[in-house]
Every structure is written in C-alpha cells, then in structure tokens.
Amino acid sequence: MSERAVRKYSTLAIQNQDQLLYGVCPHPLECGLGLVIGGGSVFPEVNFTLPPMNMTDETWPEVVAHYEQMAEQILRRVASLAVPGIVLEFELLPPMTERPEWGAELTALLKRHLQAYYDKHHLAAALRVTPTDIRDRLKPPLMRTGQAWERLNRSLELCAEAGADILSIESIGGKEVHDQALMYGDFPGIVFALGVLAPRDMSWLWGEMGDICARHPGVVPGGDSACGFANTAMQLAHQKMLPEVLAAVVRAMSAVRSLAAFEQGAVGPSKDCAYEGPVMKVITGYPISMEGKSASCAHFSPLGNIAAAMCDLWSNESVQNVRLLSGNAPEVFTELLTYDCRLMNTAAASEGGALQMRNWMTVSDEWLSPQAAVLSPDATMKIATAIVGADTPYHRTLAAGRAAVEILKSGVAQEKLHLSRKEQQWLTRIEDALDALPKEEEALIHDMEAQYGSLYDKQSYGL
C-alpha cells in the first residue's frame, strides 16, 4: 500500500439535521459519464443478477447473453422513461471473482451499453463494480495473503481496467468471529468483531483499493457495506431468531467499520445495502446509496420508506433476470426506482419540499421497529455525533452502541417504540454488556483470544 494521508473524522460534515436531506451532500461526486451524485437529484441504482443456472465454461456464453439482455432492457426502459441519470451496479458472483477475467468481461460489456446510451441519448451514467470478497474460503480466513486475496486483488484491478467507474466491496473482515458471536448473542464477541477486527481489515483493504483506483484515472473508490454483519443480524431478527434490538445496536456499531473506507479515501457512494450509510453521510459529507421498499425483490426490511429519506442513489439491491408480465425483472425494477426517484426529485424542486418529503418517509417507519428507530435523521445525527466524539474504532463502536441503546430506551420511555418483554430484557442485557466491556481494546483483544482465537488469523489483522 502506498503512503497516503488517512482522513480522521472528528467533526460532522453535516451539522444541521435539516440539511440532512436526500439528493444533496456537502461533497457531491462527479463520476462516470457526466453523472453528479449528491448534487441535487436522486438517481436510480439498478442491480441485477442471473436466474438459477450453472456457471461453467460451457454455460458462459449463456451468462454473457443474460447480461447483454439485462443491460439492453434496463437502458431501453430508462430511455422510455426519460431518466436523466443512472448507476448500474454489477455485483460479481463468486465464480466471476474467482476467475477475474470473467468479471472484467462483463464489466466491459456493461460499460459498452452505458457508453452507447450516453453517446446517443446523453444519459448521464456510472458503472459500479463490486467484486465478491472471497477471502473467507479458508478457516481461519487469510485476509492479506494467499490465493483468495490475490484473485480478489486481480479482480479489482481488471474490473477497474475494463471500465468500472466506482469500485466497491462488501468486505468480510471480522465476520468469522461476528457470525459466531451473533448466533450466541455474545456481545463482547460482536464488539470485538465490529470494533477491532473489521476496522483493521477495512483500513488495510481500502488502502489497497485506493491504490488500484489511483492507477486507473476516472475510477473512484466508492464505499463498503456491513451487509455480512448488520444485514445478517437484521434478517435473523426478522425471522425471530435474534432480538430486533440487538440487530439495531449492531447496525449502529457497524457504521464505525464502514467509515474506515472513507478514512482511507473512499468518496462514495457507499453501498446500497449499507443501511448505516446515513451516519457516514453525516460524518463525511460524501453521497450514499440506499435501498428500501423497491428492494423487496431481494429481501425483507422494515425500512422501506425511511431508507430513502437521506439517500443520494436509490437501489433495488438485486433482482434475478426472470420474466414478469411487463418484461424481465431488472427492467421492471428500473421502472419502480425511476418513479420513486422522480417523486423525490419533484418534491425537492419546491421550497421546503425535500425536508417535508424526508420527514414523511421517516415518520412512516420510524417507530415501527428498532431497526428503523436508529435510522431516522435524528438518530443518525446522534449516532454520528457519538462516533466522532470518540477516538479509536473500538471506543467509537462502544459510543455508537450506547447511542443506539439510548435512542431505543428513549423511544420506549416515550411510548413510541413498542417492545416485547423479551426484547426489553435484551435491551437491558446489551446495555449491561456495553458497560461491562474493558475500557481499552488491548484488554478485549486479550479476553477474546481464548474464546475466538481459533477462528481468526491474527496476522490478517495486524495483531
């Protein structure tokens, strides 16, 4: 990794909650083919994937044909709907990262389609490319060395070369501990994964990604997502496997590890599935992508409207290329996103309209779930303030956790948030666990080694 100034965020880029709006941010990003993200409008970010099929040398032409079809159909509908700008996200599937040339081939294919529409229809556009973080093949995973990292590194490099405008990843450093700790509701283990291991990995990884982008002018380091951490918790909570309050506190704490990408030079937009994105927007001032009701094709969330309240890109997360009545699913979801964005942008065009719209989207979901309660603009400001008020990732993670607990407790006290007896017990348990954690991370690292030492490779985290 080259020497590069690491940003240290100790203040908020957005100080006033009323300026925390969708479509605008202090540092708009100009990227790709004339697209400005966060400069006044929300644009759709369309994500798409294959239907059930094998991916082999024999089926590769079929895979390519699917991507040709998806790109053609999405952009045809974009033109029909007079969409002013769009981001396509190509999330590589594991075999496409394992074989970097495959991912690069599809990157070039998608960029070719965007370029054609830019040339012919002046469609402002950018291509986000997100290789799969495949570094967890081994047990314990090797993060900084070995074949998996080499392939991932090459995949990032080749995709940048092939036409990616924004490079992103859903990094998994610390997940090997987080999964286990989450399943057993072991709060110290969760904090160790989110506040010690994950930021260490992300700082290293995003340094590498920054170097790759620097070698390819025009390619920007976008942002990360705590998908494998906070979204896993959210989905397990939805299935009644984990307490909702635990998932909500995990979400707030996960913002610290996702922030590490920006500290290493990421400029946004953060990943769509990073529901912790608004916290990063407040702290860094860079644009974010979010997903909600129009991503129900991919997964449940209790955040359908509130997730849009502060977004700069609005995404569908992922949809398979399967036939629906009006066309294939990717173009159908392009249309959904388009109308969502058009409404938000229309509201924003009138005086005070964006704030009014943001507030409606917030209020509609805010107190119906703990997950939404920590995502409101008010909660976002509180969590972000707590994070920048602490010094190290460990202390920031604790601060974010405490802020989330306070938000939830306050919601209960004001009878806005209704929790079951079990959920309330868990909230108390989390609060107690936060209070019982060591003051300094060295002590936690020591404590955790006995319990989780076999799950992670110390050198991968510089430990």
Partner 1 sequence: MAQFKDLYDAILNGDAKKVHAATQAALEAGAEPMTLISESMVPAMDEVGRLFEEEEYFVPELLLAGRAMKSAMELLRPLMTAAGEKLSAKVVIGTVKGDLHDIGKNIVASMLEGSGFDVIDLGIDVAPEKFVSAVTEQEPRIVCMSALLTVTMPAMKTTIDALKTAGLRTRVKVMIGGAPVTMQYAKEIGADGYSENASGAVGLVRNLLAGARNSE
Residue ranges in contact with partner 1 by CB under 8 A: 49-55, 93-95, 132, 134, 136-137, 139, 179-180, 182-186, 232, 236, 239-243, 299, 320, 420, 422, 426
SS3 320: strand
Token duo for residue 350: 């009138």
Please say which residue, 154 or 299, places its beta carbon nearer to partner 1: 299
d(CA 129, CA 118) in angstroms, rounded, equals 18
d(CA 73, CA 328) in angstroms, rounded, equals 8
Residue 51 CB, shortest distance to partner 1, in Å, is 6
Count Cβ atoms below 10 Å from residue 308 Cβ, excluding itself.
25
Please say which residue, 57 or 351, places its beta carbon nearer to partner 1: 57
| Chain-centre distance for alpha carbon 219 | 18
Yes or no: say if 43 and 85 are a contact pair by the CB < 8 Å rule. Answer: yes
Please say which residue, 399 or 437, places its beta carbon nearer to partner 1: 437
Residue 74 CB, shortest distance to partner 1, in Å, is 18
Please say which residue, 180 or 359, places its beta carbon nearer to partner 1: 180
Report strand pairing: 313-315 vs 289-291: parallel
d(CA 93, CA 439) in angstroms, rounded, equals 41
Residue 242 CB, shortest distance to partner 1, in Å, is 5
Residue 124 CB, shortest distance to partner 1, in Å, is 31
CA-nearest of 228, 379, 406, 259 to 309 is 379
Please say which residue, 148 or 290, places its beta carbon nearer to partner 1: 148
Q: Which residues is 167 bridged to in the sheet?
A: 129, 221
Residue 245 CB, shortest distance to partner 1, in Å, is 11
Question: For residue 28, what is the enclosing H or E element?
Answer: strand 24-31
CA-nearest of 24, 41, 102, 109 to 75 is 109
Residue 186 CB, shortest distance to partner 1, in Å, is 8
Using CA atoms of 170, 173, 174, 175 in order, give the dihedral in degrees to the nearest 10: 40
Please say which residue, 62 or 391, places its beta carbon nearer to partner 1: 62
Residue 52 CB, shortest distance to partner 1, in Å, is 4
Please say which residue, 84 or 95, places its beta carbon nearer to partner 1: 95
